[in-house]
Structure 1
């Protein structure tokens, strides 16, 4: 794969990376990966105030990572791109490996 242009990287950062820059939004993405839900369900399941969940959902919708579908009087939120969870899981593995290496270095220094 060729190296991306700075324009593409800037767009990636603005569109995706900023949306992933908050742990609450990551938690919402994982919850929607489990199953679609409406905002009240998400708020209850994640123990977060409903206005907070709504605000984070709006950002995720604006970045096209979450889609909303009206079902009667209710709006159900879905994960738009399940591959984002694969990316997040890969990043979590990198973090674990990095922390393990760091721990090994700390132990080697003592």
Structure 2
């Protein structure tokens, strides 16, 4: 991002906004297994075909997914494999922060002492 002009930064921001919707992340997740039709994607993400189609259109605008006509069918696939690398990076970072938070909280809430027989001791 070094020295990107404002117009380029605006495009980057729109790309990230496209990724900020949970349904779109679920769509990308199911497309990670291979090409799928809108109907198949809708079933997998538990959404309507119209809703999934709307999300796919926006994701196609930003190069996240590509569509291919095969006969009467339209199949969607991940267009940019870097999106998985980006999501893995972000998910890993969030996971590490959550683990650190859990560890910090645990330091202030020690587990109750166990009495004989594995039951918490009464005070």
The answer to whether TM tops 0.5 is yes
> Helix, strand or coil: the match of 1:19?
helix
More helix by share: 1
Query: Which residue in 2 is equivalent to 1:12?
Result: 12
Deviation, structure 1 residue 21: 0.6
Aligned-residue Cα RMSD (Å) equals 1.6
Paired residues, number: 108
Deviations 1:1-60 (A, max 9, x none): x7343623332111x101101111011111111111110111112221111111110110
Tell me how far 1:70 sits from its aligned partner. 0.5
Q: State the 1:109 CA deviation.
A: 3.3
Give TM-score, length-normalised by structure 2.
Answer: 0.80
Equivalent position SS for 2:18: coil
TM alignment of 1:74-89, pairs within 5 A: 74-89=73-88
TM-score normalised over the length of structure 1: 0.88
Q: How does 1:25-64 map to 2 (within 5 A)?
A: 25-64=24-63
In 2, the alpha carbon distance for the partners of 1:71 and 1:92 equals 34
1:18 aligns to what SS in structure 2? helix
Which is further off, 40-49 or 2-11? Answer: 2-11
SS in 2 for 1:34: coil
Give the structure 1 partner of residue 117 of structure 2: none
| Alpha-carbon distance between aligned partners in 2 of 1:3 and 1:66, rounded to the nearest angstrom | 27
Paired position in structure 1 for 2:116: none
Identify unmatched segments of 5+ residues in structure 2: 110-123
1:98 maps onto 2:93 in alignment: no
Q: Which has the higher contact order (CA 8 A, sep 6+)?
A: 1
